[in-house]
């Protein structure tokens, strides 16, 4: 790892000896390769000038909180994209696990308690709940991975199917015990405080405990991606499945496990979402995978396969939330929000692919 200053100096030296044409090309390339970051910087400065509060500590706390909430799903889906796939079931899996978390952790004394037999919410029971939702997420991921790996089906079609199936299960679940689709509310304090409790406040905005969890999860995922056999195999399969097979990588299990791990991430995301939305309804989690996929792509996890970094995913989530927060503060309305988001994703993908095109 060369130190950045030396690196910069070297680049400057190289730049000096280039011909004028090459110099121009170098500058254009540098601008295009970093266009997204340059645009974001301009955007941040603009917002800061229009709305000074955008750069307050409270705003930072708000941004961090949102990033922590959106990160788990993106981390899970990132693996699927590294395998040149995708996962459309993520949002619904999050919805289902959020609903299960809520039902497991409902207060004892509310009138419309879903399952009377559930024990009183406590910390051990909370851990059981977490394990259960992780298992549910992992199970759906396992099904995804199995069909993708065993039958070489495109993940798009497999996960589209499981997305529908999962939504069906969600609707069925919400209609159990004469619930008639009423949202699951009355979440116990144990659940709310252990996950969403305020760690500390910046200005008047609280930073919840799940920010800490997100840090832990990110570290864990970074370890898995970079420091384990499974992680190395994942990149190998994503880069060239045939070569991986010949090289002795178990392509089947790698694919299954990537999806299973992703499922567990969605399970965890649901566990957090239950607290965040305060009460879970059948529509919870709908289309959440779009944001997650977008974050990965913006962060350089390419659909070409075999590339992507955890830091990139974090960056992608940060950029998306930054746009959301800034546009909310600017009060531009949802039409502009969607247009800008779409443009950014398109732009990010085009710039990403450009890097591969140039090399040929």
Partner 1 sequence: MQQDILLKMVDISKTFPGVKALDGVHLDVQKGTVHALMGENGAGKSTLMKCLFGIYSKDEGHIYLEGREVNFKSSKEALENGVAMVHQELNQALKRNVMDNIWLGRYPTIAGIAVDEKKMYRDTMAVFKELEINVDPHRLMSTMPVSQRQMVEIAKAVSYNSKVIVFDEPTSSLTEEEVEHLFKIINMLRDRGVGIIYISHKMAEIKRISDYITIMRDGKWIATERADDLEMKDIIRLMVGRELTNQFPPKTNKPGEVYLKVEGITGMYNQLKDVSFEARRGEVLGLAGLDSSGRTETLESIFGVRTRKEGKIYLDGKEVRNRNAQESIKNGFALLTEERRATGIFAILNIRDNTVISSLKRHKKFGIYLSEKSQREDTQRYIDAMHTKTPSQETKIRALSGGNQQKVIIGRWLLTEPEVLLLDEPTRGIDVGAKYEIYQLILDLANNGKTVLMVSSEMPELLGVCDRILVMSGGRVAGEVDAKNTTQEEIMTLAAKYV
Partner 2 sequence: MKKLFAVLLALAMVLGMAACAGGGDDVTNVSVFWYDESDVYLGSVRAALNAELDKLENVEYDNQFAANNQTTQLDQITTAIANGADILVVNVVTSGAVDIAQQVLDKAGDIPVIFFNRAIGADDSEVSFLKDNENVCFIGTDAPEAGHIQGKMIGEYLVANFDTVDLNGDGKISYAMMKGQEGNVEAEYRTQYGVEDANAVLTEAGKSELVYFDASNTDKYQVDPDGAWSSKAGKEYMDTNLVSYNEANDNMIELVICNNDGMAEGVVAALQEKGYNKEGGHHIPVFGVDATDNAKALIAAGAMTGTVKQDAEGMASAIAGTVNAIIGGSSCTAAPATLKDDRFTIDSTNSNKLYVAYAAYTGE
Site for partner 1 in 259-318 (CB under 8 A): 304-307
119, 94, 124, 96: which is closest to 106 by C-alpha?
Answer: 119
Nearer to partner 2, 99 or 143 (CB): 99
Written as six digits, the tokens of 7 are 């690196």
Written as six digits, the tokens of 226 are 């970079």
- The least CB distance from residue 87 to partner 2, in Å, is 19
Q: Does 279 bind partner 2 (CB under 8 A)?
A: yes
In the shown chain, the binding pattern of residues 178 to 217 toward partner 1, with x for contact by CB under 8 A and - for none, equals ----------------------------------------
- Binds partner 1 (CB under 8 A): choice among 113, 232, 309, 354: 232
Q: How many residues bind to partner 1 according to rule CB under 8 A?
A: 25
Are 286 and 91 in contact, with CB atoms under 8 Å apart?
Answer: yes
CA distance linking residue 202 with residue 218, whole number of Å: 23
Task: Give burial (CB, 10 Å; 0-12/13-18/19+) of 268.
Answer: buried
- Binds partner 1 (CB under 8 A): choice among 81, 236, 269, 280: 236
- Binds partner 2 (CB under 8 A): choice among 181, 219, 223, 356: 181
Nearer to partner 2, 110 or 157 (CB): 110
Number of helices (H), then strands (E), belonging to the chain: the values are 15, 2
Which of partner 1, partner 2, none binds 20 (CB below 5-8 Å, type-dependent)?
A: none
18, 24, 73: which is closest to 320 by C-alpha?
Answer: 73
In the shown chain, the binding pattern of residues 326 to 345 toward partner 2, with x for contact by CB under 8 A and - for none, equals --xx-x-xxx----------
Are 169 and 96 in contact, with CB atoms under 8 Å apart?
Answer: yes
- Give how far Cα 195 sits from Cα of 101, 208, 219, Å: 12, 7, 18
Q: Does 311 bind partner 2 (CB under 8 A)?
A: yes
Segment contacting partner 2 (CB under 8 A): 116-124, 225-233, 234-242, 305-313?
305-313
In the shown chain, the binding pattern of residues 29 to 68 toward partner 2, with x for contact by CB under 8 A and - for none, equals -----x--x--xx--xx--xx-xxxxxx-xxxxx--xx--
- Binds partner 2 (CB under 8 A): choice among 118, 205, 290, 349: 205
Q: Does 134 bind partner 2 (CB under 8 A)?
A: no
Q: Does 147 bind partner 1 (CB under 8 A)?
A: no
Q: Does 250 bind partner 1 (CB under 8 A)?
A: yes
CA distance linking residue 303 with residue 286, whole number of Å: 23
CA distance linking residue 70 with residue 76, whole number of Å: 11
3-state SS class at 187: strand
> What secondary structure does DSSP assign to 289-339, as a single string?
HHHHHHHHHHTT--TTSS---HHHHHHHHHHHHHHHHHHHHHT--HHHHHH
Segment contacting partner 1 (CB under 8 A): 27-35, 110-118, 134-142, 234-242?
234-242
Q: Which residue shows structure tokens 């970079």?
A: 226
Which residues form the interface with partner 1 (CB under 8 A)? 223, 227-229, 231-233, 235-236, 239-240, 242-250, 304-307, 359
């Amino acid at each position: 790892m060369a130190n950045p200053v030396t690196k910069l100096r070297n680049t400057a030296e190289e730049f000096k000896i280039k011909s004028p044409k090459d110099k121009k090309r170098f500058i254009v390339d540098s601008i295009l390769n970093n266009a997204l970051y340059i645009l974001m910087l301009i955007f941040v400065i603009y917002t800061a000038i229009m709305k000074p509060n955008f750069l307050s500590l409270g705003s930072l706390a708000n941004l961090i909180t949102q990033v922590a909430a959106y990160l788990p799903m993106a981390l899970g889906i990132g693996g699927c994209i590294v395998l040149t796939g995708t996962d459309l079931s993520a949002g619904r899996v999050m919805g289902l696990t959020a609903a299960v978390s809520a039902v497991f952790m409902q207060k004892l004394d509310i009138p419309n308690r879903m399952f009377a037999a559930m024990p009183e919410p406590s910390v051990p029971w909370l851990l059981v709940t977490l394990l259960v939702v992780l298992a549910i997420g992992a199970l759906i991921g396992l099904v995804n991975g199995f069909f993708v790996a065993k039958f070489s089906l495109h993940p798009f079609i497999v996960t589209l199917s499981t997305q529908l199936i999962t939504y069906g299960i969600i609707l069925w679940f919400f209609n159990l015990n004469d619930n008639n689709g009423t949202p699951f509310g009355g979440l116990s304090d144990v659940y709310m405080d252990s996950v969403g409790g305020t760690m500390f406040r910046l200005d008047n905005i609280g930073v919840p405990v799940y920010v800490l969890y997100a840090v832990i999860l990110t570290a864990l995922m970074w370890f898995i991606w970079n420091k384990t056999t499974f992680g190395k195999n994942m990149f190998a399969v994503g880069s060239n499945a045939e070569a991986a097979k010949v090289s002795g990588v178990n392509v089947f299990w790698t694919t299954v496990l990537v999806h299973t791990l992703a499922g567990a991430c969605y399970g965890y995301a649901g566990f957090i979402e239950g607290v965040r939305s305060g009460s879970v309804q059948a529509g919870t989690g709908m289309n959440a995978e779009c944001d997650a996929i977008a974050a990965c792509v913006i962060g350089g996890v390419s659909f070409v396969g075999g590339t992507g970094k955890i830091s990139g995913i974090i960056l992608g989530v940060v950029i998306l939330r930054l746009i959301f927060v800034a546009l909310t503060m600017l009060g531009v309305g949802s039409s502009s929000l969607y247009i800008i988001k779409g443009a950014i994703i398109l732009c990010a993908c085009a710039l990403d692919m450009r890097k591969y095109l140039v090399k040929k």
